[in-house]
Amino acid sequence: MSQENVEIVRGVYAGWVDGDVSSAIEHLDPAVVWEAIADAPDAGTYRGHAGVRRYMEDWLGDFDILSMDFEEVIDAGDRLVIAQRARTRGKGSGIETELPYAVAYWFRSGTILEIKEFRTKDEALEAVGLSAPGAHA
Residues 40 and 59: beta-carbon distance below 8 Å: no
Which percentage of the chain shows pLDDT scores above 90? 84
pLDDT above 80 for 38: yes
Domains in the chain: boundaries: 3-125
57-108 confidence digits (pLDDT tens): 999 999 999 999 999 999 988 899 999 999 999 999 999 999 999 999 999 9
DSSP letter for each residue of 27-59: TEEEEEEEE--TTSTT-SEEEHHHHHHHHHHHH
Band (pLDDT 50/70/90 cuts) for residue 134 is low
**Domain topology for 3-125:** Nuclear Transport Factor 2; Chain: A, (3.10.450)
